[in-house]
Structure 1
Amino acid sequence: MLLTKLSPVDTSTYQTPKFIQDLKHLHVLFQQATGELVVTDELGVEPNWNIYFYLGRLVYATGGKHRVRRLARAIRQHSQNVNIQNLLDNADPTVEAWELKVIEKAIQEHQLTTEQARAVIQASIHEVFYSLSEQKQPKSSWKPLEALPFKPIVALSAMQTLDNIVVVQQKWQQSGLSHVQNMIQGFSFDLAPYVAKPDQLQIMLDADAISSKTYQSLKKILNGTNTLWDLAIIMHCSLIAVMRSLLPFVVDGIVAFREIQDWASPNWKLPSQPVKLPNRGLIACIDDSPQVGVEMRRILEPLGYEVLAITEPLQSVSTLLERKPDLIFLDLIMPNTNGYELCTFLRKTTTFQEIPIVILTGRDGMIDRVRAKMSGSSDFLSKPPDPSKVLQILRKFLKNAEAE
């Protein structure tokens, strides 16, 4: 949680996470926009993340597996006098960005000052951004809004927020703790550490390897109900300090990690699970511009298609071989290669000889169409993609598109 006031670090070995790259690119495209950026994990199995912008300024971020825990942590960090359980009992989690309603209520009831509320929101945003930057291949979809479903309390620079996250990640890398993530399957700061070998911990106490105070502290806080994020607040220290204190016990197998559920109030009346759309197939979109992938998701995902957006054309072949999409949209002009060459190469591969390949381009001339046909493409689509024309392509090449 404690993510600020870190000194500059060596950046020579740091690789900018995909989420940060994508958000910086989208920020250039939507500098003055109001809307919501919906982010999903690579496999689409975790709850969505929702990031809200007002006139290009960052105003809120939420979502993920532990949004209630995150809110409670942020409030606890900036105010010790708030009755968090009471606020949660009276919340409506079915409302979009419901946490802000909780914060507004706390302000009205003088449980939080406006300054404290701003600090709570900023802490929540920082944690969301850090969690997203840990995702390997997150998918982003931009949804423009005429108005936000809430009144903004903060208006932050998205770029400055991202820069702060980069500094924190670099600090983590420089601390030498990165190897911990390789030791723990599915590592994230949402995992809860617990004492897996209490007998071994007792042996360390008996051998004076740890003090009685350390022994009691470990048994108390490592109870399997506090995540690493929670421990940073409980222990009043950074995540780096938390992991350093646990590292010897993790290496010895005394401390292990497990996933835990988010909090929920017994007063909440949660809706039944929404009906899932039919899975009509996988559509690949190979384009070096993330925005094209965003547009394709906006068009195709509501119809039940999964969209595989690929922005690195030279890495696309291995990804396509692994996922085997039902149709491929292929950009014509890309760094290091072009759509004609890649299409010709794909057609020489047995796996892609029958898969429809549609060339995407802003150059819609007769010569381009002839050359696209000669390279083995199935059709030609102008950019930016028009929803009606995309659907025409689906109906033309995919049997299960007839119900659209």
Structure 2
Amino acid sequence: MQGNLNEIDICSILQLIELGQRTGQLWVEAHNSYHSNKLDGDGAIRYHSKQKSWFVFFLNGEIIYCQEGESSLSRINDYLRYYRVETRLADQQVAELSSTDASEYAYLWALLEQNIITPKIAGNIIHGLVHETLFDLLSLHQGNFIFYQDAPLAPQLNTLEIAPFVTKIRKQVQEWKQLYPHIQSPEQLPVLSDKAQLHSSLPAATVSKLQHWADGKTSLRQLARYLNRDILTVAKAIYPYVQQSWLQLVYSVTTNPDTHTENWDLEGKYKGRIVCIDDAIAIGETINSILKAQGYEAIALTNPLEALNLVFQLKPDLILCDIAMPELEGYEVCAMLRHSTAFRLLPIIMLTGKDGFLDRVKARMVGATDYLTKPFTDTELLMLVGKYINKDFHENRA
């Protein structure tokens, strides 16, 4: 069994594995895009993208273990910190384990066999890792997967039923989406941004805890492991402070040679900055080529949830937004932007494959400026963009 997550979602895949009582491995790979929250010294915003993968191991339709594709054993060490386990394996032992197919699982069993941890702690760690992995997987809408039958991981400490996890985590994913755009990813790092306001508004004990954890080096995911809490609980706890701008969430700057970087000159002369939000990469590339040829600065964003945060930094002069997107409909994106004073008057043009009266009415109801039906010609796009951006651009940039 293999395919694309556009055709079948993770939830359905897991249900098939459970109903069929399958034994084997599920491999999932997805494209993970993120950006730094600050401008670099050359005045450019850095955008990064990389592939991320996960393995889920099954026995008779139940989960044995979950592992990230590139395991460094740091996930388990984060949990060991919570249990105050100081003893670790010798470097030579760790090196030997790294050559195995499931190095994390082998590491956990080695700790167990040497009585460094108890079966209860090992079981709790496995439960936590399965929970966080399924949270990531059930949040995916794009990517590829392969399930192949194979001998199960051995030995097994215990197995976990799929259905209870899926039921609980699907609800958490829906609640997590409500935290956008303030909180975007478990990989974000909390940093104190207004210490004076914190001291004047919060008890000393609360400020002390925030200072301890919001060091700019600890991600939300790590924080969840250190506290033995799920990621949603941690995110909800800090959400009020992020809303008040007392805490800022940033991304770690990576120097991975595989990172793809694009720079946009913020000082150059151009007709205006246009952001296109469309999950179809081909549409974004087409619009970019048309607009850039005419002197516009065009930026294509494929993830609507990330785009909600990015547009505040990019400060576009016009937004093109697709209606039918898997994570968030264009209507919702438009309505959310209109709630901000920064985008109350900004031209927002909805893109859609439908040309119906009701779609146009709904677009107007959420505050859309205009409507463009796909497929469209170069002339149609340029005329519509020019109609709204030319009359406001010089005033907005003055």
Aligned to 1:110: 115
Give the deviation of 1:125 after TM superposition.
Answer: 1.0
Q: What letter is aligned with 2:14?
A: L
Q: TM-score, normalised by structure 1?
A: 0.50
Unaligned ranges ≥5, structure 1? 1-16, 263-271, 274-316, 320-348, 351-404
**1:188 alignment partner, one of 166, 185, 188:** 185
2:132 counterpart residue number: 127
Partner Cα distance (1:192, 1:62) in 2:
22
Q: Within 2, Cα distance between the matches of 1:103 and 1:87?
A: 15
CA distance, structure 1, for counterparts of residue 89 and residue 253 of structure 2: 17
Superposed, 1:142-181 pairs within 5 Å as 142-145=147-150, 147-148=151-152, 150-169=154-173, 173=175, 178-181=177-180
Q: Secondary structure at the match of 2:52?
A: coil
SS of aligned partner of 2:148: strand
Structure 1 residue 67: deviation in Å?
A: 6.0
Relative to structure 1, the CA distance from residue 35 to residue 239 in structure 2 (aligned partners, 3 Å threshold; closer, same or farther) is: closer
SS in 1 for 2:116: coil
| TM-aligned CA deviation for residue 131 of structure 1 | 1.4
- Whether contact under 8 Å (1:47, 1:64) holds in the other structure is yes
Which whole-Å CA distance do the structure 2 matches of 1:181 and 1:252 have between them?
Answer: 14
Contact map agreement 1:42 1:136 (CA 8 A) in 2: no
Long gaps (5+) in structure 2: 1-7, 33-48, 259-323, 327-374, 377-398
Pick the aligned partner of 2:196 from 174, 194, 202.
Answer: 202
Following superposition of structure 1 onto structure 2, how do residues 195-274 of structure 1 map, counting pairs within 5 Å?
Answer: 195=192, 197=193, 200-205=194-199, 208-235=200-227, 237-260=229-252
> Which residue identity does 1:192 align to in structure 2?
L
Q: How does 1:5-404 map to 2 (within 5 A)?
A: 18-28=9-19, 31-42=20-31, 45-63=50-68, 68-77=73-82, 79-84=83-88, 90-91=94-95, 92-145=97-150, 147-148=151-152, 150-169=154-173, 173=175, 178-184=177-183, 187-195=184-192, 197=193, 200-205=194-199, 208-235=200-227, 237-260=229-252
Residue 247 to residue 135, structure 1, CA distance change in 2 (3 Å): same
Amino acid at match of 2:28: V
Q: Is 1:66–1:190's contact at 8 Å kept on the other side of the alignment?
A: no
Over residues 235-291 of structure 1, what are the superposed CA-to-partner deviations in whole Å (9 max), with x where a residue is unaligned? 4655444333322331233322233499xxxxxxxxx99xxxxxxxxxxxxxxxxxx
Distance 1:117 1:222, change over 3 A: same
When residues 72 and 159 of structure 1 are mapped into structure 2, their CA distance, relative to the original with a 3 A threshold, is same
Aligned partners of 2:79 and 2:228 also within 8 Å? no
Assess if the C-alpha contact under 8 Å between 2:57 and 2:153 holds in 1: no
Question: Deviation at 1:95?
Answer: 2.0
C-alpha spacing 1:246/1:32, structure 2 compared with 1 (3 Å): closer
Classify the secondary structure of the residue corresponding to 1:36: strand
CA contact under 8 A between 2:25 and 2:149: conserved in structure 1?
yes
Q: How has the CA–CA distance of structure 1 residues 149 and 157 changed in structure 2, closer, same or farther, with 3 Å as cutoff?
A: closer
Between stretches 40-49 and 133-142, larger displacement belongs to 40-49
CA contact (8 A) 2:65 2:130 kept: yes
Number of aligned pairs?
Answer: 239
Contact 2:78/2:226 (8 A) holds in 1:
no
Question: TM (normalized to structure 2)?
Answer: 0.51
| Alignment partners' CA distance in 2, 1:242 and 1:318 | 28
8 Å CA contact 2:31, 2:52 repeated in 1: no
Structure 1 pair 158–88 and aligned structure 2 pair: CA distance change class (3 A): farther
CA separation of 1:113 and 1:204: change in aligned 2, threshold 3 A: closer
Q: Return the offset for 1:203.
A: 4.0
Report the AA paired with residue 189 of structure 1. Answer: P
Q: What RMSD, in angstroms, separates the aligned Cα atoms of the two structures?
A: 3.7
What is the Cα deviation at residue 217 of structure 1? 2.2
Counterpart secondary structure, 1:41: strand
Cα shift at 1:113:
1.8
Whether the 8 Å CA contact 2:23–2:60 is kept in 1: the answer is yes
Instruction: Tell me the amino acid that sits aligned with residue 57 of structure 2.
Output: Y
Q: Is the 8 A contact 2:11 2:166 kept in 1?
A: yes
Q: 1:48 to 1:232 in 2, by over 3 A?
A: closer
Distance 2:89 2:189 in 1: 21
For residues 292-342 of structure 1, the C-alpha deviation after alignment (integer angstroms, 9 at most, x for no partner) is: xxxxxxxxxxxxxxxxxxxxxxxxx999xxxxxxxxxxxxxxxxxxxxxxx
Q: For residues 144 and 261 of structure 1, do their structure 2 counterparts lie closer, same or farther at Cα, with a shift above 3 Å needed?
A: farther
